Amino acid sequence: MRVPLEYTIVNKDETILGIQSKMVAELSQFNGDYSSYARKLEADIEREPDNPVHYTKLSLITQNEGDTPFGVLKRGMERIPEDHLLYHCRAMVQEKRGRRKEAIQDMKRAVELYPVSIETVMSLGTLLNRAGRYEEAIEYWNMLIEMMPEMSVAWNGKAKAEYEMGDIDRAIKHATAAIYCNPQAAAFRSNRGQMLLQVGRYKEGFADFEEAVKLGEKPCNVANRMKNITQKFMQEGKHENLAQIYEKALEIDPDNIDTFIGLSGSYTLTGNVGKIKDLMPKLTRAVKSSTDVSMLDDLGRTLSELNIMDGAIEVAARLYELTGNAQYAALQRQLSLVARNLCESVSTKSEPAKKQEKTGRNEPCSCGSGIKYKKCCGMRD
């Protein structure tokens, strides 16, 4: 459906975002007192019962109060049955309560009633993406793009739907369009980076993730986005590529314990356990700064299984420091003992056998008999 340009101009009172902006200003007049503001809105409804904006404001301010917003919106719909704002608000409350199917139904009705509301069409596309109804979502993203071709969020939403449907090449093109429309959006870079890794374009993908960090996305979030696709690589047996991704993720977020665990696993799969030992200086720093007991516990177990005892001991010491649990102190002592035994075992194996000096025939026999060697043990040679 093509919407004529002259009908795409929407008043602020006809958008949730515009109404919320007004609410912030109005609430400041009540010094942030929500109860007083709610009473004022009730008075507004009594004064103008056919104005949907008053019901909208009251439903927004009571969103977290059980069934209260549903009651407010029901009253509004009884007075104004076909208003898009009320359906949009009810969809928001439905989604907040975990009722996505009902939220989508209400948001669809809001779009039918007012198809030129960009925020409503965008909200519907987002809900459909979340619900995994990607083909439907694309219809609404296309509708939004037709109304506003330069809207980066629409291109990004469409790209996400295509990506989830497996149409990755098309998704990359539309993710690129989103970046073109808004080159400063860090999230768009991460989105495209993930898509590029999926099709083996690692250099370009890594460059997108690096740019996302430069644009302000937190390194830990970027690293986690990179690792989102590692399960697929594991299933496909692409262990070398898996290691590449973990290495880059660790470069971006050096203190991420989860990345160390993943990288250790990928090195094990590729037969490069020795590389894990090369990571020990970085790992030590990460362990000392981490407060995630569960993650540290997993790391300690991984290192212990790989016989990297110095790392496992570091982890046990940090866990004892964080928890005060005597179990970790005992584990530290046990690991130290295992490490010592391993060291002695390796040392014994690596010592060259002492070369026995040959005894001369006329010298005293080395057995201690006092007899010349030739007349003693030498007679056996």
Digit-coded pLDDT (tens) for 246-270: 999 999 998 888 888 888 888 888 8
Rounded-to-integer distance, Cα 125 and Cα 136, Å: 8
Is 284 within the bounds of a domain? yes
Task: Say which amino acid occupies 40.
Answer: K
User: Domain range for residue 289?
Assistant: 260-344
Whether 2 and 126 map to the same domain: the answer is yes
Band of pLDDT at residue 332, cut at 50, 70 and 90: confident
pLDDT tens per residue, range 12-28 = 567 888 898 889 999 89
Least confident piece of the model among 35-44, 167-176, 335-344: 335-344
Q: Is residue 117 part of a domain?
A: yes
Residues 55 and 113 in one domain: yes
**Which residues lie below 8 Å from residue 36, measured CB to CB, with a gap of 6+?**
30
Confidence of residue 8 (pLDDT cuts 50, 70, 90): very low
Residue 104 and residue 136 in contact, taking contact as beta carbons nearer than 8 Å:
no
Q: Is residue 198 part of a domain?
A: no
Question: Is 124 found in the same domain as 12?
Answer: yes
Is residue 369 in some structural domain? no
Instruction: Identify whether residues 117 and 163 lie together within a single domain.
Output: no
Number of domains making up the chain: 3
pLDDT at residue 11 is higher than 80 = no
Report d(CA 146, CA 297) in Å as an integer: 52
Q: Are residues 23 and 70 in the same domain?
A: yes
Mean pLDDT of the chain: 85
Between 160-164, 238-242, 297-301, the lowest mean confidence (pLDDT) is in 297-301
Cβ-Cβ contacts under 8 Å for 150 (sequence gap 6 or more): 181
Going by C-alpha positions, the residue among 131, 130, 124, 128 that lies closest to residue 107 is: 124
Q: For the domain that residue 299 is a member of, what is the CATH number? A: 1.25.40
CA–CA separation, 143 and 116 (whole Å): 10
In a domain, 275, yes or no: yes
Domain shared by 12 and 112, yes or no: yes
Tell me if 235 is assigned to some domain. no
Give pLDDT, residue 353: 44
Residue with tokens 């109304």: 147
Residue at which a domain ends, from 143, 164, 191: 143
* Domain shared by 62 and 34, yes or no: yes
**Mean of pLDDT values over 222-229:** 89
Residue 203 lies in a domain: no
CA–CA separation, 287 and 257 (whole Å): 7
325: how many CB neighbours lie within 10 A of its CB? Answer: 12
130 and 56 within one domain: yes
With beta carbons less than 8 A apart as the criterion, state whether 381 and 373 touch: no
Length of the chain: 381
Phi, psi of 146 (to 5 degrees): -65, -40
Does residue 100 sit in the same domain as residue 172?
no
* Whether residue 119 sits in one domain with residue 56: yes
Among the candidates 143, 163, 193, a domain finishes at 143
Q: For residue 42, give the CATH number of its domain.
A: 1.25.40.10
Contacts of 197 (CB under 8 A, 6+ apart): 205, 226, 229, 245
Pick from 89, 113, 143: which residue ends a domain? Answer: 143
pTM for the whole thing? 0.75
> What is the C-alpha separation between 80 and 73, in angstroms, rounded?
10
Whether 366 has a pLDDT exceeding 70, the answer reads: no
249 near 227, Cβ under 8 Å? yes
- The tokens describing 86, both together, are 């009320």
Assess whether 159 and 91 both reside in one domain: no
Q: Are residues 7 and 87 in the same domain?
A: yes
Strand partners, 372: 364
Q: Is residue 290 part of a domain?
A: yes
